[in-house]
Structure formats: structure tokens, C-alpha cells
Amino acid sequence: MGVLKSINYWSFPGGLDGAADIRYVLEKAKGYGYDAVELCIGLAGQLTPDTTRAECEAILSMASEIGIKVASVASGIYWAYNLASEAEADRVKAVDTLKKMVRVTSWLGCKTLLTIPGAVDIFFDPFTYARFDGYRTLGYARAGLGVLDLRARNADTLDQIERTSIDYYATQRSLYRQYRNSEIRNGETNTEELPNL
């Protein structure tokens, strides 16, 4: 079996809150050129820990009819109760839910269940939950302004790099790699990599 180009259910409108129709997601993913979809189990929607084998078989039949595979399953349920909770009742419920999710995953013919124990930023940003006319436009505008702001704050530095570089793009690539390596090391400098002067 080769590599499948797949997309997650959460990538579609209504996906994060479980409101996206699975047929819609499968058809759109196929239309966009994907080979497979990673479906998501939530506390609400068409795919939950209590989804039956017959419902899973209907989803697989639908996917086959559309010509797309169900590659894997993901879940963010552990925001509600998780395996590491201080409350024993939450831990017991989390284990029971995990068993149910593994069962649903197997009924969908998948060998992989990704569980998301937590995340930072998106869930704490009030605009994640804001729903009003034009909220998507506001989100896009906000993202675009963030890029413009980042560029404006670094304009002098980027202009100097462009003026003094032999190959501007190679220099940017090198600076990005240095930045990324610094992030991976949490900002610590590896003195062993420094030249011996």
C-alpha cells in the first residue's frame, strides 16, 4: 500500500464541534483530491463513543461509494475528562470512553486512534468560539494583520539582510533553520558547535 493523502474531519466547517455532516466531508475531501479522511469522534455529532457497528458500516459503505478511504480516527474528548484527572470518576469515565473509541475505530477498519489530551492557544482564544455575522472574515483579517504586523516589526532587519546578502533566500532559509533549532533546544546554545578560536 502506498502513501495516502489524507485530511482531518476537523479541517472542514463545523468539524471542531462535530456538526459537519460526514457525507459532506467525504465528498469534499474526494473533490479536493484527497485519498482518505481521518474521522473524529466527539461527544456530539454523527461519530461518538456510542456509535454502533451498523452506523460504522454505513459510514464505510458511504466512503466506498464516494471512492475515498477512512484512514484513521482522532478525538479531542479528553478535554471533558481525561486519563490523568485528579478525580477518580473522571479517570474511570476516560478509560471507559477510550475502550469505546478503540471499538469504534476498529469497526471503521482503522488501526490508528489519535487522542488529543490538550492544546494551547486555540481553546483559550475567545475568537475561537465567537459566532456572529462575519466572524470568519474577522478571523481571516486578524490572521492577515498578524502577518503584516510581524513583517512591520522586522522590516529594518529584513531590509538589512536583503541589502547585505549574496543570496537573500538562502540567507532567510539559513536564519529560519537557526531559529527552528533554537526553538527545539528551548533557546539553549550548544557551545560544542561553536568554532574553537
Domain ranges of the chain: 6-118, 130-186
Check whether 2 has a pLDDT greater than 60: yes
Looking at residues 176-186, what average pLDDT do you find? 83
How long a stretch of residues is the chain?
197
| Tens-digit pLDDT profile for residues 18-39 | 889 999 999 999 999 999 999 9
Looking at residues 154-177, what average pLDDT do you find? 86
Residue 197: exposed, middle, or buried by beta-carbon count in 10 A (0-12, 13-18, 19+)? Answer: exposed
Q: Of the candidates 68, 97, 78, which has an alpha carbon nearest to the alpha carbon of residue 9?
A: 68
- Whole-angstrom Cα distance, residue 52 to residue 128? 31
**6-118: CATH topology:** TIM Barrel (3.20.20)
**What is the residue-averaged pLDDT of the chain?**
84
Check whether 57 has a pLDDT greater than 70: yes
Q: Provide the grid cell at 88.
A: 477518580
Residue that is written with C-alpha cell 484527572 in the block: 85
- More confident position, 194 or 74: 74
pLDDT value for 124: 58
| Tens-digit pLDDT profile for residues 70-119 | 999 998 887 667 777 778 888 888 889 999 999 999 999 999 998 876 44
With beta carbons less than 8 A apart as the criterion, state whether 106 and 98 touch: no
Which range has the top average pLDDT, 54-58, 151-155, 171-175, 193-197? 54-58
With beta carbons less than 8 A apart as the criterion, state whether 34 and 68 touch: yes
pTM score? 0.60
The band of 152, judged by pLDDT with boundaries at 50, 70 and 90, is: confident
Task: Measure Cα distances from 101 to 57, 77, 94, 173 in Å.
Answer: 15, 10, 10, 42
pLDDT value for 119: 47
pLDDT value for 126: 65
Q: Provide the grid cell at 177.
A: 533553520
pLDDT value for 47: 94
